[in-house]
Amino acid sequence: MADLRSPRFWVPAAVLAFLALLPAYSALVGQSFYVTLFTRILVYALAALALNFVLGFGGLVSFGHALYMGLGAYAVGILSFHGVTNGWVHLAAALIVGGVFATLVGAVVVRTGGMTFIMITLAFAQMGYFLAVSLKQYGGDDGLTIDARSQLGIVDLGSNTVLYYAVLACLVACLWLFNRMLGARFGYVLRGSKSNERRMLALGFPTFRYKLSAYVMSAMVCTLAGFFLANFTKFASPSYMQWSVSGELIVIIVLGGMGTLFGPVIGAIVLLLLEEVLQGYRPGLFPPLEEVVNKHWQVVIGLFVILVVLFAKRGLYGFIVERRE
């Protein structure tokens, strides 16, 4: 079924191979920094992949998925704070809390559509943010330091490399899962309700249930990303739920290619590398300008986002794939 020469096959294959070999390369050149940088990238890729499932395929433009990353992070943080170090408990708590929250929030938001949907998801995420800020016993505004990473039995997340491969494994598993779901009846109904919901209803599909299930699944994968984020930084902070994080996830999706399965992974790599480069890179060609860019790199990101929206709507992966076909 896979055509080896199709970019739909070799681009993801090449990128995943690169990601799988990265820790080896990093150990070879003695730069452990690459592993931590790419762990962060993979966590964002996982969250963006989840968001793209509802945004790109279901047409539900959620501007509040950072909420679920934050919930996942706080599940780890609060349990560790109370002395629970078992990683499976952390993981189960994160997924259950994320699932319950997403069901409640989803039951309200999925009924609406268009602009209202965008604004309400944003408002709910903001609610979570203020909730986290007001939890004074768990650090409030300053966030919550986590003493040690979750203990997952033989999977020792204490090692950066193991954590990296754990996130990568989850990313690959989710790629496979979403790929299967999109090819199944569920995925077709979801995509159908994006392109013409009225017709799907007329055909007798209860689209609300499909959209709500997709929303909950997507949210739960985001809480998984939050679980990893908290383990990676050993910190749970309200800023994980900040609305700019939700915005960043959408930027990643659009940059990589909305409505393509693999686009978010490429988008995450490109955007986060760009941020990293802008903050620290100094080629020394024109030092005064470089200093300003390093300090005010968000101007460049902002302009970059505007340009991508105006002129490059298909995204990078969309561009590579469509040009060849």
Partner 1 sequence: MTWGLFLTQVLNGLQLGVLLFLLAAGLTLVFGIMNFVNLAHGSLYMMGAYFAAAAYAATGSFLAAAAIAVAATMILGLVIERVALMRLYARDHLDQVLATFGLILVFNEVVRYIWGPSSIYMNAPEALSGQVTLFGLNYPSYRFAIIGVGLAVAGGLYLVINRTRLGMLIRAGASNAEMVSALGVDIRFLNTMVFAMGAGLAGLAGLMAGPILSVQPGMGEPVLILTLVVIVTGGIGSVRGAFYGALIVGLVDTVGRAFLPIVLQLTIERSIAQAAGPAIASMLIYLLMAVVLAVRPAGLFPVRHG
Cβ atoms of 178 and 185 closer than 8 Å: no
Of 7-15, 199-207, 211-219, 293-301, which part binds partner 1 (CB under 8 A)? 293-301
Q: One symbol per residue from 148 to 167: x for binding partner 1 (CB under 8 A), - otherwise; what is it?
A: --------------------
Tokens 């940059």, residue located: 255
Least distance in Å: CB of 216 to partner 1? 17
Q: Which stretch binds partner 1 (CB under 8 A): 23-31, 69-77, 88-96, 291-299?
A: 291-299
203 belongs to the binding site for partner 1 (CB under 8 A): no
Strand partners, 152: 155
Please state the separation of Cα 141 from the chain's center in Å: 23
Is residue 6 classed as helix, strand or coil in its secondary structure?
A: coil
Residue among 20 and 292 whose Cβ is closer to partner 1: 292
Stretch of 22-30, 196-204, 263-271, 295-303 lying at the interface with partner 1 (CB under 8 A): 295-303
CA–CA gap between residue 229 and residue 163 (Å, rounded): 10
* Adjacent-strand bridge partners of 235: 145
Measured between alpha carbons, how far is 205 from 214 in angstroms, rounded to an integer? 15
On whether the CB atoms of residues 148 and 85 are closer than 8 A, the answer is: yes
What minimum distance in Å lies between the beta carbon of 305 and partner 1?
3
* Residue 259 binding partner 1, by CB under 8 A: no
Per CB under 8 A, the segment of 71-79, 118-126, 193-201, 220-228 that binds partner 1 is 118-126
Q: Binding to partner 1 (CB under 8 A): which residues in 32-91?
A: 55, 61, 63
Distance CA 251, CA 268 (A): 9
| Closest alpha carbon to 109 in 87, 124, 130 | 124
Shortest Cβ 238–partner 1 spacing (Å): 11
100 is an interface residue for partner 1 by CB under 8 A:
no
Q: According to CB under 8 A, which one of 180, 199, 209, 313 is a site residue for partner 1?
A: 313
Residue 179 and residue 171 in contact, taking contact as beta carbons nearer than 8 Å:
no
Rounded CA-CA distance 172/157 in Å is 18
Which residues lie near partner 1 (CB under 8 A)?
A: 55, 61, 63, 108, 111-112, 114-116, 118-120, 122-124, 126-127, 130-131, 133-137, 243-244, 247, 250-251, 254, 258, 292, 296, 298-299, 301-306, 308-310, 313
